[in-house]
Structure 1
Amino acid sequence: MANDLDSSSQLRQLSRYMVRHLGMLNAAVGDLPLSPVQAHALLEIGNQPQTIKDLASKLCIDKSNASRAIKHLIDKHLAQSQMHPKDSRCLVVQLTPIGKKLLAKLNSQQNQLFQEILAQLTSDQIHHIEQALMQYNQAIDKAKQQSGCIIRAASAADDAAIAQVIRDVSAEYGLTADKGYSVADPTLDCLSQIYSQAGAQYWVVEYEGRVVGGAGIAPLANNAGICELQKMYFMPEIRGKGLAKRLALLALDFARQTGYQSCYLETTAILKEALKLYEHLGFSPLSAPLGNTGHDACEIPMLLPLQPK
């Protein structure tokens, strides 16, 4: 947790530094008669005509702020509005010839700024920065998508709800009890007791007052130093938001802090999304399962060495 706080503080500091030194807090962008918001609006409208709603979404601002930016561009004869061809209640904004000339000047100015910055770096460094910023932007998007989702340690009060999630998702994918999947576990209705043992933890995802997913870590029986990532299930309404990865990372951090050397799991090819995530996290398939989990139908055993962060 301390390392996470240190990383968060450092990223915040670096983000503030970039915002300030790229001039985003200035009243105008360079020597142009545009505020940062107006400059971003000019760029987006130059790429494609925009409605106020579309522009607000792309700039991550409220519609009133987007409307003010558009009004400024129109007042300066940089943009013009016309009725939407498919919706008479909506206006579409596009650049005027004057606006296009100013956009060309803006692009030239910003290109020069970034060329001077990139001139300080090697090709490899530029590539690494591009990759890191792409990942950072993706993380920002996922965090926004997860707004309203609460991740917390499970309690006895969650037992019935998480058991129902596991049963519902298992039924959705045809993972029936008679085939040897974890939905048949006799402890399914009392998971809080199972994960109260030393070296174990279960987390649930709560959304709009309902438990809609979860995942856990527990020691793998008769395998010292190895834990198992278990019972990771999510209801359809919260899939695609990156929560599976977030819970897996949380569980793996817990495993490292607890002192485990490796993390084991068993899955099936039916769960294509889960298998792809495990591979992305660095899990490798094993030729044979470890221990005796009782999940005979999970034909893909995998293992991840846990290196200290």
Structure 2
Amino acid sequence: MDANTLRQLSRQLVRHLGMLDSQCGNMALSPVQAHTLIELADHPATVNEMAVRLQVDKSNASRNLAMLLNQQWVETQPNPQDGRSQIYQLTAQGMQKLEALHDALNGQVDAWLAQMDDDEAAQLGRSLARYSKSIQAAAKQDGYVIRPLTPLDNAATAAVIRRVSAEYGLTTDKGYGVADPILDRMSEVYQADGSAYWVIEYQRRILGGGGIAPLAGEATLCELQKMYFLPELRGRGLARKLAVKALRFARAQGYRGCYLETTANLGEAIALYESLGFVQIPQALGSTGHDACEVRMLKTF
């Protein structure tokens, strides 16, 4: 799916959901006011806190809270941590209004879900969750660049691999990637056909990388290789973004699947690979030389 198609589908969805209307469903609540009630049911908030939760400007949050206050659906109390602000919370009337809103909208959505089989509804839930996470991740990635590895990056990339390996106890005396003899000349190795390696750069520093190469001994499979990321890079979705880039490259090269080997020490990495559709398999494939990597995973295209 390309950006134009997704934007068109999003516009249609926004219209079907009534997000362009001045009220939510058949209730005298705007969509922003409805979201405000839902947030206050979870936890009371100041104007500034509500603006952050709803991702709107402060004036928008203040205006809608004032309208709800006028309807007696919310009430205020002094903020014990800041005498200049008030904390907003639901009143009993506001809770009743919110329950009525949930009943009405749940009934509407149940009617939509009745058009879908269980597996379709489950897939929809997973896809919406993934889309939401992608939006949040993209907001954290400003200034970070994913680009092809160059000869000038060799030393910095090898240093990242050695540092992360040491962090997780992956020593050179065992069959881990840190012991590979190619570690200091990776730009040369990944120039081969069907291969590529990318680094993640921020303010001229190499903070991580990962690549694709043919799987030795398997004609139709590639291997996801040397995915290492410094701690300061983690939590921004960049490892996933790089892995997606690598998988798209692999498909374009005509591979039928992608294999990887890792270790149980790298729990975050395993979770990432599973989220991308990799499944653990009992036997090793190809000839990687990483006999200490007891976790083997495969994603077929």
> Normalization by structure 1: what TM-score?
0.83
Alignment match of 2:44 (pick from 35, 44, 49): 49
Q: Is residue 122 of structure 2 the alignment partner of residue 160 of structure 1?
A: no
Letter of the aligned partner of 2:7 in structure 1? R
How far apart are residue 40 of structure 1 and its match?
Answer: 1.2
How far apart are residue 294 of structure 1 and its match?
Answer: 3.9
Measure, in 2, the Cα distance between the counterparts of 1:230 and 1:48. 44
Say how many residue pairs are matched: 300
Could you tell me the percent identity over the aligned residues?
49
Measure, in 1, the Cα distance between the counterparts of 2:146 and 2:154. 15
Alignment match of 1:246 (pick from 230, 233, 241): 241
How far apart are residue 232 of structure 1 and its match?
Answer: 0.3
Letter of the aligned partner of 1:137 in structure 2? S
Measure, in 1, the Cα distance between the counterparts of 2:116 and 2:153. 52
Measure, in 1, the Cα distance between the counterparts of 2:188 and 2:57. 46
Measure, in 2, the Cα distance between the counterparts of 1:222 and 1:98. 69
How far apart are residue 119 of structure 1 and its match?
Answer: 4.2
Give the secondary-structure state (helix, strand or coil) at the position aligned to 2:186: helix
Superposed CA RMSD: 2.8
How far apart are residue 176 of structure 1 and its match?
Answer: 2.3
The 8 Å contact of residues 36 and 65 in structure 2, kept in 1 or not, is answered as yes
How far apart are residue 13 of structure 1 and its match?
Answer: 1.8
The 8 Å contact of residues 281 and 298 in structure 2, kept in 1 or not, is answered as no
2:23 counterpart residue number = 28
How far apart are residue 235 of structure 1 and its match?
Answer: 0.9
Letter of the aligned partner of 1:287 in structure 2? Q
1:274 counterpart residue number = 269
2:280 counterpart residue number = 284
Q: Is residue 194 of structure 2 the alignment partner of residue 199 of structure 1?
A: yes
Alignment match of 2:298 (pick from 296, 304, 309): 304
Measure, in 2, the Cα distance between the counterparts of 1:273 and 1:132. 21
Matched ranges for 1:79-228 at <5 A: 79-228=74-223
Measure, in 2, the Cα distance between the counterparts of 1:103 and 1:276. 36
Matched ranges for 1:2-17 at <5 A: 4-5=1-2, 8-17=3-12
Letter of the aligned partner of 1:93 in structure 2? Y
Distance 1:33 1:143, change over 3 A: same
Measure, in 2, the Cα distance between the counterparts of 1:63 and 1:203. 40
Distance 1:254 1:24, change over 3 A: same
How far apart are residue 136 of structure 1 and its match?
Answer: 3.0
1:37 counterpart residue number = 32
Letter of the aligned partner of 2:168 in structure 1? Y
Alignment match of 1:257 (pick from 233, 249, 252): 252
1:62 counterpart residue number = 57
Distance 1:89 1:167, change over 3 A: farther
Distance 1:161 1:89, change over 3 A: farther
Distance 1:111 1:174, change over 3 A: closer
The 8 Å contact of residues 216 and 286 in structure 2, kept in 1 or not, is answered as no
Measure, in 2, the Cα distance between the counterparts of 1:211 and 1:9. 33
Distance 1:113 1:162, change over 3 A: same
How far apart are residue 11 of structure 1 and its match?
Answer: 2.6
Letter of the aligned partner of 1:142 in structure 2? A
Structure 1 runs not aligned, ≥5 long: none
Letter of the aligned partner of 1:290 in structure 2? G
The 8 Å contact of residues 217 and 286 in structure 2, kept in 1 or not, is answered as no
Measure, in 2, the Cα distance between the counterparts of 1:114 and 1:286. 42
Measure, in 2, the Cα distance between the counterparts of 1:63 and 1:22. 25
Measure, in 1, the Cα distance between the counterparts of 2:133 and 2:239. 15
How far apart are residue 148 of structure 1 and its match?
Answer: 4.1
The 8 Å contact of residues 146 and 198 in structure 2, kept in 1 or not, is answered as yes
Measure, in 1, the Cα distance between the counterparts of 2:186 and 2:59. 48
Letter of the aligned partner of 2:134 in structure 1? A
- Consecutive aligned runs of 4 or more in structure 1 exceeding 6 Å deviation: none
Distance 1:228 1:30, change over 3 A: closer
The 8 Å contact of residues 77 and 96 in structure 1, kept in 2 or not, is answered as yes
> Normalization by structure 2: what TM-score?
0.85
Measure, in 2, the Cα distance between the counterparts of 1:46 and 1:26. 23
Measure, in 2, the Cα distance between the counterparts of 1:29 and 1:261. 48
